[in-house]
Amino acid sequence: MRRIILALLCFAPILSSYAEPVSPTLEQESRSRWDLVWRSAVLPGWGLIHAKAYRKGFITLAVTSALVGIEYRAHHKAEMKKEDWEDAKTLSFAYLASSPQADPQTLLGLSMIQENRHHSYEDTKQQNNLKLGLLTLKYCLQLAYTYWYGIQWEKEDLRSGLKMDLAPDASGNWERAGLGWTSYKAALGYTFVF
């Protein structure tokens, strides 16, 4: 095992010298919706923040954080209810084991306490499962929205600000006149990005 690791460490610099250099303009030229989706899968809202949709990204992050906090508190509450129920069971078994002649009314009272705590635990667990389902639904919806937003983000023009385009004129008036000149049309525009 040591030999394999040592060999990899020795050959890594040699192999990396044959790697293709990364173009610094690659990130500027291409956009991928999957770049946004994997970021949002790791941390909800990160993909939107990366796409410079700051308000949407921070709102998504805040709502998801709030739902995670609510889920954490609900899970903690369910664990406390489960401990209460187990304590009631332990108390009932301890009473039965310690007294040779158990009082029927005391046993009935202990079993009612145990049953009430069990129902309370089950209700809390059901509410917890509902909150977990809402958190899961919100997570899936934010991934779907990030994917949809990424489709538009891919098509968005990377340049902002002043744009000037010069293209051959489709009408070709000069070519028809027999002069051999090509006419061009110019388009000047400014893009505001909010």
Pair of tokens at residue 95: 């009473």
| Confidence at residue 19, expressed as pLDDT on a 0 to 100 scale | 47
Nearest one of 36, 25, 29, 88 to 60, comparing CA atoms: 36
Nearest one of 126, 113, 124, 109 to 86, comparing CA atoms: 113
| Confidence at residue 168, expressed as pLDDT on a 0 to 100 scale | 67
| Confidence at residue 17, expressed as pLDDT on a 0 to 100 scale | 43
Position 120, amino acid: S
CA distance 102 to 121: 27
| 139: three-class secondary structure by DSSP | helix
Give the pLDDT of the chain (194 residues) as one tens digit per residue: 555 555 555 455 444 444 445 444 444 457 888 999 999 999 999 999 999 889 999 999 999 999 999 999 999 999 999 999 999 999 888 888 888 787 888 888 888 999 999 999 999 999 999 999 999 999 999 999 999 999 888 887 555 555 656 666 666 555 555 555 666 667 666 665 54
Handedness of CA 53, 56, 58, 64 (dihedral sign): negative
Nearest one of 142, 151, 133 to 43, comparing CA atoms: 142
Segments making up each domain of the chain, as ranges: 32-156, 160-194
CB-based contact 167:183 (threshold 8 Å): no
